Amino acid sequence: MRDLTAGFRHLLRGHRWVARHGRAYGLGLLPGLITLVLYLAALVALAMWGDDFVAWATPFADDWSSPWQGLFRGFLTAVLFALALLLAVVTFTAVTLLVGQPFYENLSERVDRDVSPDGTAPESGLSLARDLWISARDGLRIVVRAGVWGVLLFACGFLPFVGQTLVPVIGFFVTGFFLTEELTAVALQRRGVQLRERLALLRSRKRLVWGFGTPLGLAFLVPLVAVFLMPGAVAGATLLARELLGEETRDPEEDTGGEHEAAATQAF
């Protein structure tokens, strides 16, 4: 329970950090807005022509009598759209992080410098092109892993009772885990932590990861919310990465409060 609370606290601290740094927050919104427009266009196209695609993909049902043909193809169209929505939720963060790599790298470095006792931030030493390649490669691997889980959970959803109770809960925790991996990758990749090591690190503190990623995943289900939460999520994930690695972290809010208190005392 303590780790769950600590994970959620990192999420809140990340959003408080971007609230105090308005310019970083504004720049962090741009990649999410670009990705959102692309995803909405794809989903609208699927809604308009999804039934035509299903009809093209199921020629064997052309001679079926009514209402079986309509029910069968209607069910497949609904399944196709549901899978597209699931894929959109799972991949939105990875695509947004890839589109906004320079923005989020800069934001994460600023958080590191702000909370580091010596005011420094780790640097990868890699070129932007190399960083983008590693992010794209690792992001694709995570999407494949998440996709396998998504298909398994979707299939289990047809099981009586279990599919309507246990499966959605497991789905939220799985989404939270992979979402946290994608977000912490910004800070961990900069420290040279490879994907396999990142996954092992996250599995060693699952409750901490769930406390951070599960509520964020739930919030991301609300349209447009993901765009506005991304900058704070990246900032919070940087703080989470520091805890996972056992790095000393100071609280800038406490320091600021102490400075204000000292200044007020001196003035008095």
Give the model's pLDDT for residue 211. Answer: 93
**pLDDT for res 12:** 93
pLDDT of the residue at 255: 52
Longest pairwise C-alpha distance within the chain: 90
Distance CA 159, CA 167 (A): 9
Q: Name residue 2's amino acid.
A: R
Instruction: Read off the pTM.
Output: 0.77
Q: Which residues touch 224 (CB under 8 Å, ≥6 apart)?
A: 36
Instruction: Identify the pLDDT of residue 11.
Output: 93
Could you tell me if 153 and 174 are in contact, meaning their C-beta atoms sit under 8 angstroms apart?
yes
Chain mean position to CA 125:
25
Supply the pLDDT for residue 203. 92
Q: What pLDDT score does 252 carry?
A: 66
> Which pLDDT score, from 0 to 100, does residue 75 have?
81
CA–CA dist 112, 230 (Å, integer): 17
H runs (alpha helix) in the chain: 2-20, 22-57, 68-99, 101-115, 128-156, 162-190, 195-203, 206-220, 225-244, 252-267
CB proximity list for 99: less than 8 A, separation 6 or greater: 31, 34, 35
Work out the number of other CB atoms within 10 angstroms of the CB of residue 28: 26
List the one residue out of 205, 185, 223 whose CA is nearest residue 94: 185
The ranges assigned to domains in the chain are 2-49+88-249
* Angstrom distance (rounded) from CA 191 to CA 41: 36
What was the pLDDT predicted at 223?
Answer: 63
Q: Mean pLDDT per 10-residue run, the chain (268 residues)?
A: 86 92 85 87 85 81 79 79 74 82 88 90 81 83 82 76 78 88 91 90 92 89 81 93 88 54 34
87-92 contacts at long range (C-beta below 8 A, 24 or more positions apart) = 87/147, 87/150, 88/39, 88/42, 88/43, 89/175, 89/217, 89/220, 89/221, 90/143, 90/146, 90/147, 90/150, 90/175, 90/178, 91/143, 92/35, 92/39, 92/220, 92/226
Give me the percent of the chain exceeding a pLDDT of 70.
92
